[in-house]
A and B are shown apart, each in its own frame.
Chain A
Amino acid sequence: MKINLKVTADFDLDGKIMPRAIEWEDGRVFAIDRVFDVRRAASLKAGGVGMRYICRICGRTVALFNDENKWFMEGKEN
């Protein structure tokens, strides 16, 4: 399952993108405490590819994907 998200990110002088906060569907904004890993990866669960940022949000480790600047997360099966 793919969950599309609004993301606030910083672009540095070299063009590198670093996500800073995500906005959930109910409007709540969560800050990203830390980004552990950045690499290109595919998400079979969500069905997409792009830069994968493994982040800590609210104490939980989460994978955030940037697919041509559309951000998504893997969701649990319903």
Chain B
Amino acid sequence: MRSILHVDMNNFYASVECLYNPEIRNFPVAVAGDPLNRHGIILAKNMIAKKLGVATGEAIWEAKLKAPGLVLVPPDYKKYLRFSRMAREIYYEYSDQVEAFGLDENWIDLTYSLKYLHSDPVSIANTIRERVKEELGVTVSVGVSFNKIFAKLGSDMKKPDATTEIPYEHFREIVWPLPVSDLLYVGKATARKLELIAVNTIGDLARMDVAILKRRLGKWGEILWLFANGMDTSPVRKISESEQIKSIGNGTTCPRDLKTEQDVRLVFTVLAESVAARLRDCCVKCQGVQIYLRDNDLFTISRQKKMEFPCCTSAPILETAMELFRQHYRWHKPLRSVSLSAIYLVTANKHVQLSLFDDTAEQLLVQEQIEKTIDMLRYRFGHNAIMRASALLDKKLTGFNPKEDHTIHPYSYFR
């Protein structure tokens, strides 16, 4: 039987900011984006703000209604990345199987290290809690169990600064009464589908006939049934293995609504350049493009399309995105935010078959060289050392740098 910990840093961004700023600690604090750029949502809140009802993902004005004295702090991702790394360095002392889940959560598999550590999982969990408090000045909640899913459920149960164990002998009493939406990978859509077949708690899910679940939810039906019954066998990844990237995308909420095709093209140009540069950084090429369009009623559509040749340059990605856009958007409303993703990734060292009849593939190679040179220039002299002339048409729209300024949404933002 495995011993797995799930370590969750409490109110991560807010905790880091409160550590660095002792004066604000006794006030409700929230880390939020810049409302002037229409990025004004709550990314994290401290315990005081949480008790007043401030929620991650809501707008700043909504949060201020609940907590009038709310202190707002802009996000500083460099700090959070550093804290995330320092916390993981503590975890690495207990196992070589440490898998990150976002910046603030990690699974640690202690099964093979226990004999060297001369201790039990709960004591190690408490030691880790103390060390993070002592060395980093922030608190964590730890779940201890025999699989990743229950370990994560455990860490969600007591916050802040606590250890929760879900042992094999008692998991049914502890886990089964919980709402099914608490289970990892059960979001709003899945919860709704389960509600229709009277599955409201994890216990209901566990006791349900797996054939019915497979019919209703497909492959996930069986997987979620296994999760609910404590039969998740997914391993905790080793430190050296990184997750295989399935797509690379960038999106933005624009400082003003987009009203013309040129507006959309300008923003897609910036996004396509960033996505292409990231593809090159990861040594992959994409064979498809997906776009997300959100209008100013917050109604979202997404469309995708396969491409003829795998590529890692911005021009084909941009053109494919514009084709999708023209084909599927009828301009019933101005657009508030758009997103562009490179999908169907393949490794970049695949040889490209040059055709005798057209030079598309050869042109792609030339374009690739040009863009790699631009990468180098930007690396040495900054992002704005070189830019497309079209960007000058509307500097306010195109004046963002998604590759460097990217916002990392905490996992809880999506719940």
Interface of A with B (CB < 8 Å)? Answer: 1, 39-49, 68
Contact = CB atoms under 8 A, between A and B. Distances in A.
Contacts of B19: 42, 44, 47-49
Contact of A43 (B82, B86, B137): B137
B20 interface: yes
Nearest to A44: B137
B234 interface: no
Contacts of B382: none
Nearest to B137: A42
B81 to A, nearest CB: 12
A44 to B, nearest CB: 6
Contacts of A68: 82
Contacts of B133: 42
A40 B21 CA distance: 19
Given A42-B135, A44-B19, A46-B22, 6 more contacts: A39-B135, A42-B19, A42-B133, A42-B136, A44-B22, A44-B137
Contacts of A47: 19-22
Contacts of B82: 68
Interface string B122-136: 000000000001111
A40 B134 CA distance: 8
A48 B136 contact: no
Contact of A48 (B20, B86, B134, B135): B20
Contacts of B135: 39-42, 49
21 contacts: A39-B135, A40-B135, A40-B136, A41-B134, A42-B19, A42-B134, A42-B135, A42-B136, A42-B137, A43-B137, A44-B19, A44-B137, A47-B19, A47-B20, A47-B21, A47-B22, A48-B19, A49-B19, A49-B83, A49-B136, A68-B82
A47 B16 CA distance: 9
A40 B87 CA distance: 11
A67 to B, nearest CB: 9
A62 to B, nearest CB: 19
A22 B134 CA distance: 25
Q: 9 shortest A-B CB distances, which residue pairs? A: A42-B137, A40-B135, A47-B22, A47-B20, A42-B136, A49-B137, A49-B136, A44-B137, A41-B135
Contacts of B136: 40, 42, 49
Contacts of A1: 22
A39 B138 CA distance: 17
A71 B226 CA distance: 52
Nearest to B17: A47
A48 B137 CA distance: 8
A44 B22 CA distance: 7
Contacts of B22: 1, 44-47
A49 B86 contact: yes
Contacts of A42: 19, 133-138
A37 to B, nearest CB: 13
B293 to A, nearest CB: 41
Interface in B58-86: 82-83, 86
Contacts of A46: 22
Contacts of A48: 19-20
B188 to A, nearest CB: 37
Contacts of A41: 134-135
A27 B410 CA distance: 45
Interface string B5-24: 00000000000000111100
Nearest to A51: B135
Contacts of A43: 137
B388 to A, nearest CB: 36
